[in-house]
Structure 1
Amino acid sequence: MTSRFLLLLALLLGSAPALADATHYPLTIQSCDRQVVFDQAPRHAVSHDINMTQMMLALGLKPRMVGYSGISGWKSVTPEMAKILDGLPELAAKYPSVETLLNADVDFFFAGWDYGMRVGGDLTPQTLQPLGINVYELTESCAFVMKRPAASLDDTYNDLRNLGRIFDVQDRANQLIASMQAQVADIRQHLPTRQPRVFLYDSGEDRAMTSGRLGMPQALIEAAGGRNILDDLETSWTRVNWENVVERNPEVIVIVDYGEVSAQQKEQFLLNHPALQSVDAIKQRRFIVIPYVQATPGIDNVLAVRTLAQGFHAQ
């Protein structure tokens, strides 16, 4: 969360698309490979992870929420984010349980696969729906449960649009989407034609946690005028051998900053890794750091595209 988040919200007061029709319930929403029916707007919602919590707060949904989960256990909360979260309880520092949601009388859970839910786990749409809890799945994460195209910024726009319909705040959602689209279009208007080879490093020492074409970093790198060196991998967040990185010889390395290992420590690990010494990005010390909240689907994707574009094409 940065001051740019507040700027983005301020833009909602500017020019906007035509007013949308109000939601008529019951409402059917496509969520991954499921259709979810809402008889009314949720009144006791919970969001999981910092990116999805940001989306809901940006849409003015705090009064409809009973809490959030999965933030303090993984990422630091900025002072700006703390102010916005004030008064909203964190139900679980990492992963909530079914009992946690039931005890909070939750009727809506916004999460994703590998973002609070795992295939075959205790907390899934299939386990929660019979308990009266509707689940909306983060679009980008659908790659874990179904075949889908490469990740794009449209995934984030789709989530905002669907949340707008579910909670009957379509106008606010449409204005936010239009603002984000305009900012990305402005960035792309000034990009050179050459696309540098880019490797995203999330974490890991024996093997590297990174993203193939189905993860949001693919969309961010592409929108910023770069080329993900792993854009041929039909996978989302995944691990690869360092030999794969060396063979594809990235010119720029993007480091995701979160967790106990700092971005500076990650950079030093890469610089000292014996197998990477022939890689152009290592030899030229070309690193770009973005926080976790920008690397995952959400309203800060625009900030990531701007930062990456500036770093990719710096003279």
Structure 2
Amino acid sequence: MKRKFSLLITAIMLTTAIFTGCGNSINTNNSSDSEKSSSTAKASAAKTSYPVTFDAFDSEGKTYKQTFNNAPKKVITNNQSSTELLLTLGLKDSLIGTGDLDTPIPETLKANYESVAAIAKKGDAAKEVVVGSGADLVIGRAASFKDDKYGSIPSLNEVGINTYVQLASRMNTNITLDTIIQDVKNVGIIFDVQDKANSLADSMQKSLDDIKAKVPTDNPRKKIMVIVNYGAASFTVYGANASLQKEMLNILNADNVIEKGGSASLENIISTNPDHIIYVTATKNASSDADAVDRILAEPTIQNVTAIKNKSIISVDYTEFMGYGYRTFDCLEKLSSAFYPEVFKNKL
């Protein structure tokens, strides 16, 4: 049976696992030395020893050291995946503001999410709102740490606000699924909830290892098209230049047939002849998303396309596929079941 992250999340929110281990220096990235976020802590698996220091990276790749003398108490999240992670780790009481939602919040987190103020209803919050909130930490994606959005890293640091930039949100470097796992562990260290964070990270790693072990690699590579906001004659596609999504497909022995994202047409579907189509839903596209898959399947001009003949359109939401959070691993499980039902039949 497919391992549901929602069940694990419920368990994490209700109970605390017990871990033991020797003290180790915390290494906060799995990339090259120049990209590593180092921690000065020596902590057991279950307890953080403050102070701890991590590197924060802006959208241009500049590095800023962030030192935490204790667990943050007034936190603002600037994207959905960081909001979901903190709620999952039982940190609702530390949240004083959240960013905009790209997709509906999971039911398991909905009540807690609705109890926290949304400081950005649409788009990004103003820096002035963040600074005036009394926050001691802003956490989330690199692209939102700008002065015309939530505030740049140095401008927030100047007024005593720390930042944690999700390593998986760094678009100017190579992102992997291991990077998401590292983000979960890092957040566990910062907030001194390592037991819960490590439990979630271990489950993510187990899911990844299971998929890698079972995906057939001796088969021809599958051709995939990723569509978003389908209109009719034209629509938008995501390209293979997005490193995290490229790795997700590579793990599944598959390739995106579109090299660079942008506008596409029915002719693109015909000429590339994808084996499967991934359709990405988002709150902002709710009106077109409602019946998009049915409309694509019914389009008379593309009936000879393999994905259409086999009715293989997999609907995923933006936060799963593009949100670089723990739900990315749910998405990977969903895609593996759709691409290889004969292998992953027990996960359907």
What's the TM-score once normalised by structure 1's chain length? 0.81
Q: Closer, same or farther in 2 for the Cα pair 1:113/1:171, shift >3 Å?
A: same
| Identical amino acids, percent of aligned pairs | 23
Q: CA RMSD in A?
A: 3.0
Superposed counterparts of 1:49-128, under 5 Å: 49-71=79-101, 74-94=102-122, 95-114=124-143, 117=144, 121-123=148-150, 124-128=152-156
Q: How far is 1:92 from its partner? A: 2.1
Q: How far is 1:185 from its partner? A: 1.7
> Which secondary structure state, in structure 2, belongs to the residue aligned with residue 91 of structure 1?
coil
Contact 1:252–1:312 (CA<8 Å) still a contact in 2? yes
Q: How far is 1:250 from its partner? A: 1.5
1:191 aligns with 2:215: yes
> Which secondary structure state, in structure 1, belongs to the residue aligned with residue 293 of structure 2?
helix
1:38 aligns with 2:62: no
Q: Deviations over 1:253-307 (max 9, x none)?
A: 1111222235442224534668756542234331011122311211212211111
- 1:10 matched to which residue of 2? 11
- 1:301 matched to which residue of 2? 328
Q: How far is 1:173 from its partner? A: 1.9
Q: Closer, same or farther in 2 for the Cα pair 1:269/1:155, shift >3 Å?
A: farther
Q: How far is 1:199 from its partner? A: 1.6
CA–CA distance in structure 2, aligned partners of residues 215 and 169 of structure 1? 29
- Mean alpha-carbon deviation: is it higher for 4-13 or for 295-304? 4-13
Q: Amino acid of the residue matched to residue 255 of structure 1? A: Y
CA–CA distance in structure 2, aligned partners of residues 253 and 179 of structure 1? 27
> Which secondary structure state, in structure 2, belongs to the residue aligned with residue 69 of structure 1?
coil
- 1:172 matched to which residue of 2? 196
> Which secondary structure state, in structure 2, belongs to the residue aligned with residue 90 of structure 1?
coil
Contact 1:38–1:166 (CA<8 Å) still a contact in 2? no
- 1:227 matched to which residue of 2? 255
CA–CA distance in structure 1, aligned partners of residues 184 and 118 of structure 2? 22
Q: Closer, same or farther in 2 for the Cα pair 1:204/1:129, shift >3 Å?
A: farther
CA–CA distance in structure 1, aligned partners of residues 134 and 160 of structure 2? 9
Q: How far is 1:240 from its partner? A: 4.6
Q: Closer, same or farther in 2 for the Cα pair 1:228/1:14, shift >3 Å?
A: farther
Q: Amino acid of the residue matched to residue 296 of structure 2? A: L
Q: How far is 1:212 from its partner? A: 2.9
Q: How far is 1:208 from its partner? A: 1.4
Q: How many residues align?
A: 301
Q: How far is 1:309 from its partner? A: 0.5
1:23 aligns with 2:48: yes
In structure 1, the gaps of 5 or more residues are: none
- Mean alpha-carbon deviation: is it higher for 131-140 or for 208-217? 208-217
In structure 2, the gaps of 5 or more residues are: 22-43, 343-348
Q: Amino acid of the residue matched to residue 81 of structure 2? A: N
Contact 2:227–2:238 (CA<8 Å) still a contact in 1? yes
Q: Closer, same or farther in 2 for the Cα pair 1:268/1:21, shift >3 Å?
A: closer
Q: Closer, same or farther in 2 for the Cα pair 1:140/1:203, shift >3 Å?
A: farther
Q: How far is 1:174 from its partner? A: 2.0
- Mean alpha-carbon deviation: is it higher for 203-212 or for 95-104? 203-212
Superposed counterparts of 1:153-172, under 5 Å: 153-172=177-196
Contact 2:279–2:293 (CA<8 Å) still a contact in 1? yes
Looking at both structures, which has the greater relative contact order when contacts are Cα pairs under 8 Å and sequence separation is at least 6? 1
Q: How far is 1:24 from its partner? A: 3.9
Contact 1:109–1:136 (CA<8 Å) still a contact in 2? yes
Q: Amino acid of the residue matched to residue 262 of structure 2? A: R
Of 280, 296, 301, the match for 2:306: 280
- Mean alpha-carbon deviation: is it higher for 304-313 or for 61-70? 61-70
> Which secondary structure state, in structure 1, belongs to the residue aligned with residue 215 of structure 2?
coil
CA–CA distance in structure 1, aligned partners of residues 146 and 270 of structure 2? 32
1:239 aligns with 2:262: yes
State the structure with more CA Rg: 2
